[in-house]
Amino acid sequence: MKKNKTSKNWINRQRRDIYVRKSKVEGYRSRAVYKLEEINQKFNIFYNGASILDLGAAPGSWSQYISKNYKNIKLASIDLNKFDQIENTFQIVGDFTENIYKQKILNFFKGKIDIVISDMAVNTTGNKNLDSIQTSELCLDAMRFSKEVLKKNGKFVSKIFIGSTFNEIIDESKKIFKKNKVFKPGASRKESKESFIVCSMLR
């Protein structure tokens, strides 16, 4: 009964959500695209000719946004789950933390890259503290990988959850990057602990 009520509440929230409706009208696969759009408008992340890695890409709205708005890009998108093809995108199905998939990424770019973005999060368990910790680990993995693959003036954007590991992420980002900001887009739901860390300029 509780599960049915939760499902009904989710459906009602989706129907009321302006970003869900907007994504359907504009042909994007999820409302998450508007979080990236806001981040980009504030921090000028993307530009024509950039090489970009999209971690946790499924269902693909972030890669859609980049492919649609920028020219001459080199874009690789990876996720554990298979998702529909996106124009001008090299798609990988797998776990980026495993060496075999890291090597596929490196082989595609054949050198250092400009931008790494990550919207990775674990499947929620209902335990918000546990979810926060596990998603933070994904952020740290992405950040450390970025240290290896980014150009000196590269940019890194990742989802984080405000929780017990927040300070650890901030401290790690300061060790790796010269510039660090935390930003919560208007498209993120108010009740969500989700924010994004935006970093640039490797040390």
Active site residues: 159
Q: In what order do the strands lie in the sheet with 113-118?
A: 89-93, 74-79, 51-55, 113-118, 150-161, 194-202, 177-183
Reading the block at residue 16, the tokens are 């009321």
Greatest Cα pair distance, the chain, in angstroms, is 54
Instruction: Find, among 147, 149, 62, 68, the residue nearest to 102 by Cα.
Output: 149
Contacts 24+ apart (CB under 8 A), 13-19: 19/187
167, burial (CB in 10 Å: exposed 0-12, middle 13-18, buried 19+): exposed
Instruction: Find, among 162, 166, 168, the residue nearest to 188 by Cα.
Output: 162
Degrees, nearest 5: CA angle 130-91-181:
50
Work out the end-to-end distance of the chain between its first and last CA atoms, rounded to an integer number of angstroms. 53
